[in-house]
């Protein structure tokens, strides 16, 4: 059996019928439905992503957070702190080591996990504090720098992405307020505000409001706040346990 061909003008589009001589079955080529184009989302430019400043990922905030850092009223070491959100929800606790020559303070989360310690280093021209991990390795240094008017502190550490960070604490150690500023961007990453109450002054206890910017490690900012408190106490004179 031969193949029957039907000639159709080229100007008209019709399905083409093909007669299979062996099967005697007519098949029809149907028009194909066009596939939708593949849409690929463009990558976010690196300059628009939020750079995270910190070490402890669980404490890097996604929005501005206000923390309350205050010394405990009844403390055997005299150097214990409570850290909570503005709504009173606790997030960290700081325990001073009794009779520590370096004024060691251990910082724990609310599950009793030891996050880091804060110690004062001796034999430095400028007052220097080290933040150490539970194994004793240094993870941050806070160094006080004398100036013609007042003083300034500098904190250095490596963030979780490996980038080197330099934070400047601007403001006299005796001021009621200090700003912590990232050197590379000149952005304020945290603010420390020292609250004065008559009862706290009589007991020698301090209370601070710590405002932390988005993308910043709250735990490390608490460490800098405690260094701020220690330097203030040093300027006021010795207290409590041996330093």
Give residue-wise pLDDT tens across range 138-149: 999 999 876 555
Closest to 54 in 3D by CA, of 137, 159, 190, 130: 159
Over residues 79-106, mean pLDDT: 87
Over residues 57-75, mean pLDDT: 89
Quote the CA–CA distance of 84 and 125 in Å, as a whole number: 34
Contact of 61 with 41, CB cutoff 8 Å: no
Over residues 157-173, mean pLDDT: 89
Contact of 183 with 163, CB cutoff 8 Å: no
Over residues 167-175, mean pLDDT: 75
At 79 the pLDDT is: 78
Q: Is the pLDDT of residue 117 over 70?
A: yes
Closest to 82 in 3D by CA, of 222, 234, 190, 197: 222
Selected residue with higher pLDDT from 10 and 135: 135
Question: CA of 76: how far to CAs of 64, 102, 107, 120, in Å?
Answer: 34, 17, 16, 19
- Total number of residues shown for the chain: 243
Q: Is the pLDDT of residue 122 over 50?
A: yes
Q: How much is the pTM? A: 0.73
At 243 the pLDDT is: 37
Quote the CA–CA distance of 8 and 36 in Å, as a whole number: 31
Closest to 157 in 3D by CA, of 177, 174, 180: 180
Give Cβ neighbours of residue 209 (< 8 Å, ≥ 6 apart).
66, 67, 68, 69, 192, 193, 195
Over residues 100-106, mean pLDDT: 78
Task: Give the confidence band of 232 by pLDDT, cuts at 50, 70, 90.
Answer: confident
Closest to 104 in 3D by CA, of 84, 143, 131, 144: 131
Task: Give all domains of the chain, ordered by start, each with its CATH number.
Answer: 49-236 (2.40.160.200)
Q: Is the pLDDT of residue 242 over 50?
A: no
Quote the CA–CA distance of 14 and 209 in Å, as a whole number: 79
Mean pLDDT in the chain?
79
The beta strands (E) that lie in the chain are given as: 17-19, 26-28, 65-71, 81-85, 90-96, 105-109, 114-121, 128-132, 138-146, 151-158, 164-170, 177-182, 188-195, 207-212
Quote the CA–CA distance of 168 and 163 in Å, as a whole number: 16
Question: CA of 206: how far to CAs of 80, 141, 194, in Å?
Answer: 11, 23, 7
At 241 the pLDDT is: 40
At 101 the pLDDT is: 63
> What six digits make up the tokens of 217?
């490690």
Q: How many other C-beta atoms can be found within 10 angstroms of the C-beta atom of residue 144?
A: 21
């Amino acid at each position: 059996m031969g193949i029957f061909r039907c000639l159709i003008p080229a100007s008209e589009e019709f399905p083409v019928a093909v007669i299979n001589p062996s099967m005697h079955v007519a098949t029809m080529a149907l028009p194909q439905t066009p596939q939708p184009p593949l849409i690929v989302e463009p990558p976010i430019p690196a300059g628009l992503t939020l750079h995270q400043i910190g070490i402890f990922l669980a404490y890097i905030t996604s929005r501005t957070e206000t923390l309350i850092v205050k010394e405990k009223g009844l403390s055997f070491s005299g150097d214990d702190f409570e850290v909570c959100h503005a709504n009173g929800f606790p997030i960290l606790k700081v325990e001073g080591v009794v009779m520590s020559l370096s004024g060691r303070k251990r910082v724990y989360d609310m599950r009793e996990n030891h996050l880091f310690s804060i110690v004062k280093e001796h034999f430095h021209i400028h007052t220097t504090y080290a933040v150490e991990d539970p194994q004793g390795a240094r993870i941050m240094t806070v160094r006080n720098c004398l100036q013609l008017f007042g003083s300034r502190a500098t904190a250095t550490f490596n963030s979780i992405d490996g980038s080197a960070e330099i934070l400047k604490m601007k403001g006299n150690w005796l001021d009621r307020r200090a700003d912590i500023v990232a050197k590379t961007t000149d952005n304020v990453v945290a603010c420390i505000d020292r609250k004065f109450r008559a009862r706290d002054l009589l007991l020698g206890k301090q209370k601070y409001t710590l405002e932390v910017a988005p993308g910043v490690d709250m735990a490390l900012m608490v460490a800098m706040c405690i260094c701020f408190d220690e330097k203030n106490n040093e300027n006021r004179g010795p207290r409590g346990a041996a330093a």
